[in-house]
Structure 1
Amino acid sequence: MSRRLIIQGYFWPTMARDCADLARRCPACQHFQKAPGRPAVNYAPISTSIPFARWGIDLVGPLPRGTSNNRYIIVTIDYFTKWVEAEPLASITEARCRHFVLKNILTRFGVPQQIISDNGTQFEAAPFCALLEAWGIKHTFSSVAYPQGNGQVENANRTLLEGLKKKLEAEGGGWVEELHNILWAYRTTPRRATGETPFSLCYGFEAKAPTEVTLPTRRVTQYDPEANDTNMALDLHLISE
């Protein structure tokens, strides 16, 4: 939490201690925090050299029934930036999974080289495989006996579920309405693998936090439009050379 505040441009001497105290006073955080000491697992690192070239996709659920009878979440993560897309689903049909890939990957981030999934019937269905083949996308299945092969999306699922559990008690099962807030928190929190936020790796700068509306950071208070225009013109001139 304190590191995230520093990235946003805030600092005070007791920041780390204050953040730890806040977490200790949060009943939901303490109740649903995963227990330490999970046995170590040897993961095979799977990365990529460019953003949005390799995605992992998975399904989460069933969850408590939410609005519009949604009980599942379809999740996908980019292996380079760790950017996550997710949507609630009432049913996990092949058609819904295919529409999700078209909407949230292909027409938003371009055509990837590879998509990794488990052996679920939705992902093995002929129309889903035909879509990937038509776009020239390699479809790789993670082993049933070794699901860590799609470990990045599994880790994203675990993070989303932890966030949802903390909200389920307060919201009475209204996880559908909380999903976008949890995605926002995931995208603007530094990931251990990269040391950066998925938002910054995706867009090239840090997202503006809600606190910056009432408590501006230096990137707002010290912004000079004229100096910015001059620097941009200089950069464009250097590019042309």
Structure 2
Amino acid sequence: MKVLRQGYYWPTMKEDATNFVRACDRCQRFANYSSMPATLLTPMVSPWPFAMWGIDLIGELPKAKGDVKYAVVAVDYFTKWVEAMPLTEAVNKIIKHTLKTKLEERKGNWPEELPKVMWSYNTTPRSTMGERSFMLTYGYEAMVPVEVGSGSLRRDCYRKEDVEVNQRLHLDLLEETRENSQLRLAAYQQRAARYYNKKMTSAQNKRRPYK
């Protein structure tokens, strides 16, 4: 952050700074830690047509051309104008399975549990990307609920002016974070494709009749 304030920048600034701090004993023991705090929920009202949309899914429907079996529907809050289009699948299968498992444990109380499950998922590091979804979206780490109740350094030493400055600096580094995550995800997808194709080829060879 000090380097950014002086007007310097290079593509791997965040990674270089992280490696430097990890190797510095004093940084690990005494460095200040600050980030955006949790905020109160603010109801939002659409001020004019097409400013805000509500989105929902319909399905599963009978599979149609292109293997589509869902429809996504968007409704403008102001005019109630409706748009819709077909989809191939509603959500990533791994995410869907994880959410379904967590919510089924709560039985009839799953609607109350849903926000907590979503928050937990979005603030948990993804092995495929090396980052949390919250970080990739907003550019800084979320404050977890336990910090609100039990306290932490960044919560107890909170100063609005410092947080606003640090938020702008974090956003300057967001592009580097996203690019690194894209590289990790691409590498993971290539490994998964090689593994899948290898199994597919092996299965096809086994099914071929001997001459």
TM-score (norm 1): 0.32
TM-score (norm 2): 0.36
